[in-house]
Structure 1
Amino acid sequence: MRTLVFDIGNTAVKYGCFEANGLQETAAGLTLEQMPATVERLRPDHVLVASVAEPTAAWAARLQPLLKGRVLEFGPATTRLPIRNAYASPRTLGADRLAAAVGAAWLRPQHDTLIVDAGTAIKCDWVEGGHTFRGGSIAPGLRMRFEALHKLTGRLPLVDMPAAVATPLDLIGTDTPSAIRSGVLNGAAAEVNGLIEQYQALSPRLAVVLAGGDAPFFQPRLKGHIFVIPELVLLGLHRILVHNVEN
Protein backbone atom coordinates (compact mmCIF):
# COMPACT_ATOMS: atom_id res chain seq x y z
CA MET A 1 0.00 0.00 0.00
CA ARG A 2 1.27 3.44 -0.93
CA THR A 3 0.29 6.33 1.33
CA LEU A 4 0.82 10.06 1.03
CA VAL A 5 0.56 12.34 4.07
CA PHE A 6 0.49 16.13 4.10
CA ASP A 7 1.55 18.13 7.16
CA ILE A 8 0.24 21.68 6.67
CA GLY A 9 2.22 23.99 8.90
CA ASN A 10 2.10 27.68 9.72
CA THR A 11 4.25 28.68 6.76
CA ALA A 12 4.41 25.78 4.29
CA VAL A 13 3.39 22.18 3.58
CA LYS A 14 5.54 19.10 4.11
CA TYR A 15 4.70 15.72 2.64
CA GLY A 16 5.83 12.13 2.97
CA CYS A 17 5.17 9.23 0.61
CA PHE A 18 5.36 5.73 2.13
CA GLU A 19 5.49 2.23 0.66
CA ALA A 20 4.53 -0.19 3.41
CA ASN A 21 6.26 1.52 6.37
CA GLY A 22 9.22 2.88 4.44
CA LEU A 23 9.48 6.58 3.65
CA GLN A 24 10.13 6.80 -0.10
CA GLU A 25 10.01 10.54 -0.69
CA THR A 26 9.63 13.69 1.35
CA ALA A 27 9.93 17.41 0.79
CA ALA A 28 9.15 20.63 2.62
CA GLY A 29 8.21 24.04 1.32
CA LEU A 30 5.28 22.88 -0.78
CA THR A 31 2.42 25.35 -1.24
CA LEU A 32 -1.21 24.35 -0.81
CA GLU A 33 -1.76 24.87 -4.53
CA GLN A 34 0.93 22.27 -5.31
CA MET A 35 -0.74 19.49 -3.31
CA PRO A 36 -3.00 18.17 -6.14
CA ALA A 37 -0.06 17.90 -8.54
CA THR A 38 1.88 15.94 -5.91
CA VAL A 39 -1.02 13.49 -5.54
CA GLU A 40 -1.27 13.04 -9.31
CA ARG A 41 2.48 12.43 -9.65
CA LEU A 42 2.87 9.96 -6.75
CA ARG A 43 -0.48 8.14 -7.28
CA PRO A 44 -1.01 6.96 -3.69
CA ASP A 45 -3.67 4.50 -2.61
CA HIS A 46 -4.72 6.72 0.32
CA VAL A 47 -3.98 10.26 1.51
CA LEU A 48 -4.03 11.94 4.91
CA VAL A 49 -4.23 15.71 5.38
CA ALA A 50 -3.23 17.24 8.73
CA SER A 51 -2.96 20.90 9.61
CA VAL A 52 -1.97 23.14 12.50
CA ALA A 53 -2.81 26.21 10.42
CA GLU A 54 -6.23 25.98 8.78
CA PRO A 55 -9.23 23.67 8.24
CA THR A 56 -8.61 20.74 5.93
CA ALA A 57 -12.12 20.04 4.57
CA ALA A 58 -11.71 22.04 1.36
CA TRP A 59 -8.38 20.40 0.57
CA ALA A 60 -9.69 16.92 1.27
CA ALA A 61 -12.60 17.56 -1.10
CA ARG A 62 -10.23 18.81 -3.77
CA LEU A 63 -7.90 15.80 -3.48
CA GLN A 64 -10.52 13.03 -3.25
CA PRO A 65 -11.39 12.96 -6.99
CA LEU A 66 -7.71 12.37 -7.79
CA LEU A 67 -7.52 8.87 -6.26
CA LYS A 68 -9.57 5.72 -5.81
CA GLY A 69 -8.85 5.32 -2.11
CA ARG A 70 -9.54 7.42 0.92
CA VAL A 71 -8.64 10.98 1.90
CA LEU A 72 -8.53 11.16 5.70
CA GLU A 73 -8.68 14.49 7.52
CA PHE A 74 -6.72 14.13 10.72
CA GLY A 75 -8.45 15.66 13.75
CA PRO A 76 -6.75 15.01 17.12
CA ALA A 77 -10.12 14.87 18.89
CA THR A 78 -12.02 12.84 16.28
CA THR A 79 -9.70 10.53 14.31
CA ARG A 80 -9.24 6.95 15.50
CA LEU A 81 -5.72 6.34 16.80
CA PRO A 82 -3.50 3.31 17.41
CA ILE A 83 -2.63 4.74 20.85
CA ARG A 84 -4.60 6.21 23.75
CA ASN A 85 -4.84 9.99 23.92
CA ALA A 86 -5.00 11.08 27.58
CA TYR A 87 -4.71 14.82 26.85
CA ALA A 88 -7.36 16.73 28.81
CA SER A 89 -8.29 19.05 25.92
CA PRO A 90 -7.88 17.02 22.69
CA ARG A 91 -9.60 19.68 20.57
CA THR A 92 -6.78 22.12 21.34
CA LEU A 93 -4.03 19.56 20.77
CA GLY A 94 -1.82 20.18 17.77
CA ALA A 95 -1.93 17.53 15.07
CA ASP A 96 1.86 17.50 14.90
CA ARG A 97 2.26 16.70 18.62
CA LEU A 98 -0.14 13.77 18.48
CA ALA A 99 1.29 12.44 15.22
CA ALA A 100 4.80 12.51 16.70
CA ALA A 101 3.50 10.54 19.68
CA VAL A 102 2.00 7.89 17.39
CA GLY A 103 5.29 7.63 15.50
CA ALA A 104 7.29 7.26 18.71
CA ALA A 105 4.90 4.63 20.06
CA TRP A 106 5.17 2.60 16.87
CA LEU A 107 8.99 2.75 16.94
CA ARG A 108 9.27 2.01 20.67
CA PRO A 109 6.30 -0.11 21.76
CA GLN A 110 6.00 -0.74 25.51
CA HIS A 111 8.62 1.93 26.32
CA ASP A 112 8.37 5.38 27.88
CA THR A 113 9.53 7.99 25.36
CA LEU A 114 10.12 11.72 25.56
CA ILE A 115 9.74 13.52 22.22
CA VAL A 116 11.66 16.76 21.74
CA ASP A 117 10.19 18.34 18.61
CA ALA A 118 12.22 21.47 17.89
CA GLY A 119 10.49 23.53 15.24
CA THR A 120 8.51 26.77 15.26
CA ALA A 121 7.89 25.86 18.90
CA ILE A 122 9.90 23.52 21.12
CA LYS A 123 7.55 20.77 22.24
CA CYS A 124 8.50 18.14 24.80
CA ASP A 125 5.89 15.36 24.99
CA TRP A 126 5.71 12.14 26.97
CA VAL A 127 4.45 8.84 25.55
CA GLU A 128 3.90 6.44 28.43
CA GLY A 129 4.59 2.75 27.91
CA GLY A 130 4.46 3.05 24.13
CA HIS A 131 0.67 3.26 24.27
CA THR A 132 -0.54 6.51 25.91
CA PHE A 133 0.05 10.15 25.03
CA ARG A 134 0.14 12.10 28.30
CA GLY A 135 1.03 15.62 27.18
CA GLY A 136 4.04 17.77 27.89
CA SER A 137 5.21 21.33 27.31
CA ILE A 138 5.26 23.98 24.59
CA ALA A 139 7.84 26.78 24.50
CA PRO A 140 8.94 29.33 21.89
CA GLY A 141 11.26 27.99 19.24
CA LEU A 142 14.68 29.43 18.51
CA ARG A 143 13.66 31.85 15.76
CA MET A 144 10.63 32.95 17.74
CA ARG A 145 12.94 33.87 20.63
CA PHE A 146 15.19 35.93 18.40
CA GLU A 147 12.18 37.71 16.88
CA ALA A 148 10.58 38.39 20.28
CA LEU A 149 13.72 40.08 21.61
CA HIS A 150 13.79 42.32 18.55
CA LYS A 151 10.08 43.13 18.29
CA LEU A 152 9.32 43.57 21.99
CA THR A 153 12.25 45.85 22.78
CA GLY A 154 13.25 49.23 21.52
CA ARG A 155 16.87 48.70 20.50
CA LEU A 156 17.83 45.03 20.37
CA PRO A 157 18.68 43.91 16.81
CA LEU A 158 17.20 40.91 15.02
CA VAL A 159 19.90 38.23 15.20
CA ASP A 160 20.03 35.20 12.93
CA MET A 161 20.87 31.61 13.70
CA PRO A 162 24.57 30.81 13.12
CA ALA A 163 25.28 29.42 9.67
CA ALA A 164 26.89 26.27 11.13
CA VAL A 165 24.46 25.21 13.85
CA ALA A 166 26.82 22.60 15.33
CA THR A 167 29.59 25.19 15.96
CA PRO A 168 30.32 25.65 19.69
CA LEU A 169 28.78 28.82 21.14
CA ASP A 170 30.53 31.24 23.44
CA LEU A 171 28.93 31.40 26.87
CA ILE A 172 29.90 35.04 27.33
CA GLY A 173 28.76 37.34 24.54
CA THR A 174 31.22 40.16 23.93
CA ASP A 175 28.81 42.35 21.96
CA THR A 176 25.04 42.62 21.71
CA PRO A 177 24.50 40.11 18.85
CA SER A 178 26.74 37.47 20.47
CA ALA A 179 25.08 38.08 23.85
CA ILE A 180 21.67 37.49 22.26
CA ARG A 181 22.90 34.31 20.58
CA SER A 182 24.30 33.05 23.88
CA GLY A 183 21.09 33.81 25.73
CA VAL A 184 18.76 32.30 23.15
CA LEU A 185 20.76 29.28 22.03
CA ASN A 186 22.62 28.27 25.19
CA GLY A 187 19.49 29.04 27.19
CA ALA A 188 17.28 26.86 25.00
CA ALA A 189 19.72 23.94 25.18
CA ALA A 190 19.94 24.25 28.97
CA GLU A 191 16.14 24.43 29.17
CA VAL A 192 15.64 21.22 27.19
CA ASN A 193 18.38 19.39 29.10
CA GLY A 194 16.69 20.39 32.33
CA LEU A 195 13.34 19.05 31.15
CA ILE A 196 14.96 15.78 30.06
CA GLU A 197 16.45 15.36 33.55
CA GLN A 198 13.04 15.89 35.14
CA TYR A 199 11.40 13.32 32.87
CA GLN A 200 14.22 10.86 33.56
CA ALA A 201 13.45 11.21 37.26
CA LEU A 202 9.92 9.98 36.46
CA SER A 203 11.13 7.19 34.18
CA PRO A 204 14.81 6.20 34.54
CA ARG A 205 14.74 4.06 31.35
CA LEU A 206 13.18 6.84 29.32
CA ALA A 207 14.19 7.11 25.65
CA VAL A 208 14.58 10.58 24.14
CA VAL A 209 13.60 11.11 20.50
CA LEU A 210 14.60 14.34 18.77
CA ALA A 211 12.73 15.68 15.73
CA GLY A 212 11.95 18.95 14.01
CA GLY A 213 13.74 21.44 11.82
CA ASP A 214 16.10 22.61 14.59
CA ALA A 215 17.11 19.07 15.57
CA PRO A 216 20.63 19.58 14.08
CA PHE A 217 21.20 22.42 16.57
CA PHE A 218 20.05 20.44 19.61
CA GLN A 219 21.58 17.05 18.74
CA PRO A 220 25.17 17.80 19.87
CA ARG A 221 23.96 19.81 22.86
CA LEU A 222 21.62 17.36 24.57
CA LYS A 223 22.99 15.06 27.24
CA GLY A 224 22.76 11.28 27.09
CA HIS A 225 21.77 9.01 24.23
CA ILE A 226 19.35 10.66 21.82
CA PHE A 227 17.47 9.05 18.91
CA VAL A 228 17.29 11.54 16.04
CA ILE A 229 14.25 10.91 13.82
CA PRO A 230 13.68 14.00 11.65
CA GLU A 231 10.52 12.66 9.97
CA LEU A 232 8.78 11.47 13.14
CA VAL A 233 5.62 13.50 12.51
CA LEU A 234 5.28 12.17 8.96
CA LEU A 235 5.78 8.61 10.20
CA GLY A 236 3.07 9.12 12.81
CA LEU A 237 0.66 10.51 10.23
CA HIS A 238 1.35 7.47 8.03
CA ARG A 239 0.63 5.08 10.91
CA ILE A 240 -2.61 6.93 11.71
CA LEU A 241 -3.71 6.62 8.07
CA VAL A 242 -2.85 2.91 7.97
CA HIS A 243 -4.74 2.32 11.25
CA ASN A 244 -7.89 3.94 9.85
CA VAL A 245 -7.69 2.19 6.48
CA GLU A 246 -7.13 -1.26 7.99
CA ASN A 247 -9.60 -1.05 10.90
Structure 2
Amino acid sequence: MNIAIDAGNTYAKVGWFEKDNLVRYQNRLLWPDLISEIQQNEPERILFSSVGNSVEDFRSALQRDIEVIDLTPDTPLPISKNYDTPQTLGADRIAAAVGAQFLYPGDDLLVIDMGTCITYDFLDKEGSFQGGAISPGVKMRFSALHTFTKRLPQLEPVPEAELIGKSTKGAIESGVMNGMLAEIEGIIERYRHISSDLRVVVCGGDVPFFESRLKPTIFVVPELVLIGLNRILRYNVAL
Protein backbone atom coordinates (compact mmCIF):
# COMPACT_ATOMS: atom_id res chain seq x y z
CA MET A 1 0.00 0.00 0.00
CA ASN A 2 1.17 3.53 -0.82
CA ILE A 3 0.24 6.81 0.79
CA ALA A 4 0.04 10.36 -0.48
CA ILE A 5 0.62 13.19 1.99
CA ASP A 6 -0.51 16.78 1.49
CA ALA A 7 0.99 18.64 4.46
CA GLY A 8 0.19 22.27 5.16
CA ASN A 9 1.66 24.60 7.75
CA THR A 10 -0.44 23.06 10.56
CA TYR A 11 -2.33 20.01 9.37
CA ALA A 12 -1.76 17.16 6.94
CA LYS A 13 -4.14 15.18 4.74
CA VAL A 14 -3.24 11.57 4.03
CA GLY A 15 -4.63 9.14 1.48
CA TRP A 16 -3.94 5.39 1.61
CA PHE A 17 -4.01 3.78 -1.83
CA GLU A 18 -4.07 0.27 -3.23
CA LYS A 19 -2.71 1.01 -6.69
CA ASP A 20 -5.13 3.72 -7.94
CA ASN A 21 -7.87 3.08 -5.40
CA LEU A 22 -8.24 5.39 -2.41
CA VAL A 23 -9.05 3.02 0.45
CA ARG A 24 -8.59 5.28 3.48
CA TYR A 25 -8.43 8.99 4.11
CA GLN A 26 -7.38 11.05 7.12
CA ASN A 27 -7.65 14.80 7.53
CA ARG A 28 -6.34 17.46 9.93
CA LEU A 29 -3.48 15.38 11.27
CA LEU A 30 -0.90 17.24 13.32
CA TRP A 31 2.75 16.44 12.61
CA PRO A 32 3.24 14.02 15.57
CA ASP A 33 0.01 12.21 14.69
CA LEU A 34 1.07 11.92 11.07
CA ILE A 35 4.41 10.37 11.99
CA SER A 36 2.77 8.00 14.49
CA GLU A 37 0.16 6.86 11.97
CA ILE A 38 2.80 5.98 9.39
CA GLN A 39 5.00 4.20 11.92
CA GLN A 40 2.08 2.04 13.03
CA ASN A 41 0.90 1.23 9.50
CA GLU A 42 4.01 1.19 7.35
CA PRO A 43 3.31 1.79 3.66
CA GLU A 44 5.45 0.58 0.81
CA ARG A 45 6.04 4.06 -0.59
CA ILE A 46 5.15 7.65 0.24
CA LEU A 47 4.64 10.74 -1.93
CA PHE A 48 5.36 13.71 0.30
CA SER A 49 4.15 17.22 -0.53
CA SER A 50 4.58 19.90 2.12
CA VAL A 51 4.72 23.68 2.44
CA GLY A 52 5.91 23.63 6.05
CA ASN A 53 8.32 20.72 6.56
CA SER A 54 11.29 19.46 4.60
CA VAL A 55 11.44 15.93 3.28
CA GLU A 56 14.68 15.46 5.24
CA ASP A 57 12.90 16.26 8.52
CA PHE A 58 10.09 13.90 7.50
CA ARG A 59 12.45 11.00 6.75
CA SER A 60 14.33 11.59 10.00
CA ALA A 61 11.13 11.65 12.05
CA LEU A 62 9.86 8.39 10.51
CA GLN A 63 12.88 6.35 11.65
CA ARG A 64 11.87 3.75 9.09
CA ASP A 65 13.35 2.54 5.82
CA ILE A 66 10.45 3.60 3.61
CA GLU A 67 10.81 4.96 0.09
CA VAL A 68 9.78 8.63 0.14
CA ILE A 69 9.32 10.63 -3.06
CA ASP A 70 9.43 14.39 -2.54
CA LEU A 71 7.19 16.45 -4.80
CA THR A 72 9.32 19.31 -6.14
CA PRO A 73 9.13 21.45 -9.30
CA ASP A 74 11.57 18.96 -10.90
CA THR A 75 9.59 15.80 -10.09
CA PRO A 76 8.59 13.99 -13.33
CA LEU A 77 4.87 14.30 -14.04
CA PRO A 78 2.35 12.45 -16.23
CA ILE A 79 1.32 15.82 -17.70
CA SER A 80 3.35 18.57 -19.33
CA LYS A 81 3.64 22.17 -18.07
CA ASN A 82 3.23 25.10 -20.44
CA TYR A 83 3.92 27.62 -17.68
CA ASP A 84 6.37 30.51 -17.70
CA THR A 85 7.55 30.03 -14.10
CA PRO A 86 7.29 26.28 -13.31
CA GLN A 87 9.52 26.66 -10.24
CA THR A 88 6.83 28.81 -8.60
CA LEU A 89 3.88 26.58 -9.47
CA GLY A 90 2.15 25.37 -6.31
CA ALA A 91 2.17 21.64 -5.63
CA ASP A 92 -1.57 21.61 -4.87
CA ARG A 93 -2.36 23.16 -8.24
CA ILE A 94 -0.31 20.65 -10.19
CA ALA A 95 -1.55 17.70 -8.11
CA ALA A 96 -5.19 18.69 -8.63
CA ALA A 97 -4.57 18.98 -12.38
CA VAL A 98 -2.91 15.54 -12.47
CA GLY A 99 -5.82 14.07 -10.52
CA ALA A 100 -8.37 15.58 -12.89
CA GLN A 101 -6.49 14.36 -15.96
CA PHE A 102 -6.31 10.85 -14.49
CA LEU A 103 -10.06 10.77 -13.80
CA TYR A 104 -11.10 12.43 -17.07
CA PRO A 105 -8.44 11.69 -19.71
CA GLY A 106 -8.87 13.25 -23.12
CA ASP A 107 -10.99 16.19 -21.90
CA ASP A 108 -10.29 19.89 -21.74
CA LEU A 109 -10.38 20.53 -18.00
CA LEU A 110 -10.93 23.55 -15.79
CA VAL A 111 -9.79 22.59 -12.29
CA ILE A 112 -11.12 24.79 -9.49
CA ASP A 113 -9.73 24.41 -5.96
CA MET A 114 -11.67 26.36 -3.32
CA GLY A 115 -9.32 26.66 -0.36
CA THR A 116 -7.50 29.52 1.35
CA CYS A 117 -7.22 30.87 -2.17
CA ILE A 118 -9.41 29.84 -5.05
CA THR A 119 -7.40 28.64 -8.03
CA TYR A 120 -8.54 28.11 -11.60
CA ASP A 121 -6.30 26.01 -13.85
CA PHE A 122 -6.77 24.90 -17.43
CA LEU A 123 -5.46 21.55 -18.66
CA ASP A 124 -6.03 20.84 -22.33
CA LYS A 125 -7.08 17.47 -23.74
CA GLU A 126 -3.47 16.70 -24.72
CA GLY A 127 -2.53 16.82 -21.04
CA SER A 128 -0.73 20.17 -21.10
CA PHE A 129 -1.09 22.39 -18.03
CA GLN A 130 -1.67 25.90 -19.38
CA GLY A 131 -1.95 27.93 -16.16
CA GLY A 132 -4.89 29.90 -14.86
CA ALA A 133 -5.74 32.29 -12.03
CA ILE A 134 -5.38 32.73 -8.28
CA SER A 135 -8.03 34.66 -6.37
CA PRO A 136 -8.75 35.28 -2.66
CA GLY A 137 -10.75 32.54 -1.00
CA VAL A 138 -14.00 33.19 0.81
CA LYS A 139 -12.56 33.49 4.33
CA MET A 140 -9.77 35.72 3.06
CA ARG A 141 -12.39 38.07 1.59
CA PHE A 142 -14.27 38.35 4.86
CA SER A 143 -10.99 38.94 6.73
CA ALA A 144 -9.84 41.61 4.27
CA LEU A 145 -13.02 43.66 4.72
CA HIS A 146 -12.53 43.61 8.49
CA THR A 147 -8.76 44.15 8.45
CA PHE A 148 -8.62 47.04 6.00
CA THR A 149 -11.58 49.04 7.34
CA LYS A 150 -12.22 50.59 10.72
CA ARG A 151 -15.82 49.58 11.36
CA LEU A 152 -16.73 46.48 9.35
CA PRO A 153 -17.05 43.36 11.53
CA GLN A 154 -15.26 40.04 11.08
CA LEU A 155 -17.80 37.60 9.66
CA GLU A 156 -17.79 33.96 8.59
CA PRO A 157 -19.07 32.28 5.41
CA VAL A 158 -22.77 31.44 5.26
CA PRO A 159 -24.56 28.80 3.16
CA GLU A 160 -27.01 31.35 1.72
CA ALA A 161 -26.78 35.12 1.41
CA GLU A 162 -29.60 37.39 0.29
CA LEU A 163 -28.76 39.37 -2.81
CA ILE A 164 -29.97 42.61 -1.20
CA GLY A 165 -28.40 42.93 2.22
CA LYS A 166 -30.68 44.76 4.67
CA SER A 167 -27.94 45.37 7.25
CA THR A 168 -24.18 45.86 7.26
CA LYS A 169 -23.81 42.18 8.12
CA GLY A 170 -26.17 41.18 5.32
CA ALA A 171 -24.45 43.48 2.84
CA ILE A 172 -21.03 41.99 3.61
CA GLU A 173 -22.38 38.46 3.33
CA SER A 174 -23.99 39.29 0.00
CA GLY A 175 -20.88 40.97 -1.34
CA VAL A 176 -18.57 38.10 -0.43
CA MET A 177 -20.76 35.05 -1.04
CA ASN A 178 -22.68 36.28 -4.08
CA GLY A 179 -19.63 38.05 -5.43
CA MET A 180 -17.58 34.87 -5.29
CA LEU A 181 -20.42 32.87 -6.85
CA ALA A 182 -20.62 35.37 -9.70
CA GLU A 183 -16.84 35.21 -10.12
CA ILE A 184 -16.82 31.41 -10.37
CA GLU A 185 -19.71 31.30 -12.83
CA GLY A 186 -18.21 34.10 -14.89
CA ILE A 187 -14.81 32.46 -15.15
CA ILE A 188 -16.35 29.11 -16.09
CA GLU A 189 -18.33 30.87 -18.83
CA ARG A 190 -15.21 32.57 -20.17
CA TYR A 191 -13.34 29.26 -20.30
CA ARG A 192 -16.24 27.76 -22.24
CA HIS A 193 -15.38 30.26 -24.98
CA ILE A 194 -11.98 28.53 -25.14
CA SER A 195 -13.44 25.00 -25.04
CA SER A 196 -17.12 24.32 -25.74
CA ASP A 197 -16.90 20.79 -24.28
CA LEU A 198 -15.01 21.86 -21.17
CA ARG A 199 -15.28 19.66 -18.08
CA VAL A 200 -15.18 21.54 -14.76
CA VAL A 201 -13.66 19.62 -11.84
CA VAL A 202 -13.93 21.15 -8.37
CA CYS A 203 -12.31 20.42 -5.00
CA GLY A 204 -11.45 22.23 -1.78
CA GLY A 205 -12.90 22.91 1.64
CA ASP A 206 -15.24 25.72 0.56
CA VAL A 207 -17.01 23.71 -2.15
CA PRO A 208 -20.12 23.02 0.04
CA PHE A 209 -20.90 26.76 0.12
CA PHE A 210 -21.24 26.90 -3.67
CA GLU A 211 -21.78 23.50 -5.33
CA SER A 212 -25.58 23.50 -5.15
CA ARG A 213 -25.80 27.13 -6.28
CA LEU A 214 -23.53 26.97 -9.33
CA LYS A 215 -25.51 26.95 -12.58
CA PRO A 216 -22.84 25.33 -14.79
CA THR A 217 -22.41 21.55 -14.54
CA ILE A 218 -19.48 20.69 -12.30
CA PHE A 219 -17.87 17.47 -11.07
CA VAL A 220 -16.97 17.61 -7.38
CA VAL A 221 -14.04 15.41 -6.34
CA PRO A 222 -13.20 16.17 -2.67
CA GLU A 223 -9.92 14.20 -2.62
CA LEU A 224 -8.70 15.36 -6.02
CA VAL A 225 -5.29 16.56 -4.74
CA LEU A 226 -4.56 13.25 -3.00
CA ILE A 227 -5.62 11.32 -6.11
CA GLY A 228 -3.22 13.44 -8.14
CA LEU A 229 -0.39 12.92 -5.67
CA ASN A 230 -0.88 9.17 -5.82
CA ARG A 231 -0.88 9.30 -9.62
CA ILE A 232 2.44 11.20 -9.52
CA LEU A 233 3.85 8.58 -7.12
CA ARG A 234 2.85 5.69 -9.39
CA TYR A 235 4.20 7.50 -12.44
CA ASN A 236 7.61 7.95 -10.80
CA VAL A 237 7.75 4.34 -9.59
CA ALA A 238 7.10 3.18 -13.15
CA LEU A 239 9.96 5.27 -14.62
Residue equivalent to 1:81? 77
Residue equivalent to 2:197? 205
Residue equivalent to 1:134? 130
Q: Distance in 2 between matches of 1:52 and 1:197?
A: 32
Q: Distance in 2 between matches of 1:46 and 1:19?
A: 11
For the 8 Å contact 1:113–1:130, the answer to whether it is kept is: no
Q: Structure 1 residue 61: deviation in Å?
A: 3.7
Q: Structure 1 residue 4: deviation in Å?
A: 0.8
Could you list the per-position Cα deviations for residues 119-144 of structure 1 after superposition, in whole angstroms to 9, with x for gaps in the alignment? 11000101111511111000010001
Secondary structure of the residue that 2:110 maps to in structure 1?
A: strand
Among 220, 235, 238, the residue aligned to 1:228: 220
Q: Which amino acid aligns with 1:119?
A: G
Secondary structure of the residue that 1:219 maps to in structure 2?
A: coil
Q: Distance in 2 between matches of 1:10 and 1:144?
A: 17
Q: Which amino acid aligns with 2:78?
A: P
Residue equivalent to 2:165? 173
1:185 aligns with 2:177: yes
- Per the normalisation by structure 1, the TM-score is 0.93
Residue equivalent to 1:66? 64
Q: Structure 1 residue 54: deviation in Å?
A: 4.5
Q: Distance in 2 between matches of 1:130 and 1:150?
A: 44
Write out the 4+ residue segments of structure 1 that deviate beyond 4 Å after TM superposition.
none
Unmatched 5+ residue regions in structure 2? none
Q: Distance in 1 between matches of 2:138 and 2:214?
A: 15
Residue equivalent to 2:50? 51
Q: Which amino acid aligns with 1:7?
A: D
Secondary structure of the residue that 2:150 maps to in structure 1?
A: coil
Question: What fraction of aligned residue pairs are identical, expressed as a percent?
Answer: 44
- Per the normalisation by structure 2, the TM-score is 0.95
For the 8 Å contact 2:107–2:198, the answer to whether it is kept is: yes
Q: Distance in 2 between matches of 1:56 and 1:87?
A: 25
Question: 80-89 vs 181-190, which deviates more?
Answer: 80-89
Q: Distance in 1 between matches of 2:70 and 2:59?
A: 7
Q: Structure 1 residue 56: deviation in Å?
A: 3.1
Q: Distance in 2 between matches of 1:141 and 1:3?
A: 31
Could you list the per-position Cα deviations for residues 137-174 of structure 1 after superposition, in whole angstroms to 9, with x for gaps in the alignment? 00010001111111111111000122xx2xx4200111
Q: Distance in 2 between matches of 1:50 and 1:238?
A: 11
For the 8 Å contact 2:185–2:216, the answer to whether it is kept is: no
Residue equivalent to 1:107? 103
Q: Which amino acid aligns with 2:69?
A: L
Q: Structure 1 residue 225: deviation in Å?
A: 1.4
Secondary structure of the residue that 2:212 maps to in structure 1?
A: helix
Unmatched 5+ residue regions in structure 1? none
Q: Distance in 1 between matches of 2:87 and 2:108?
A: 24
Q: Distance in 2 between matches of 1:17 and 1:33?
A: 18
Q: Which amino acid aligns with 2:5?
A: F
Could you list the per-position Cα deviations for residues 91-127 of structure 1 after superposition, in whole angstroms to 9, with x for gaps in the alignment? 1111000000100111111110001100110001011
For the 8 Å contact 2:110–2:198, the answer to whether it is kept is: yes
Q: Distance in 1 between matches of 2:82 and 2:232?
A: 17
Q: Structure 1 residue 192: deviation in Å?
A: 0.8
Residue equivalent to 1:98? 94
Q: Distance in 2 between matches of 1:104 and 1:139?
A: 20
For the 8 Å contact 1:52–1:94, the answer to whether it is kept is: no
Q: Structure 1 residue 246: deviation in Å?
A: 1.6
1:219 aligns with 2:216: no
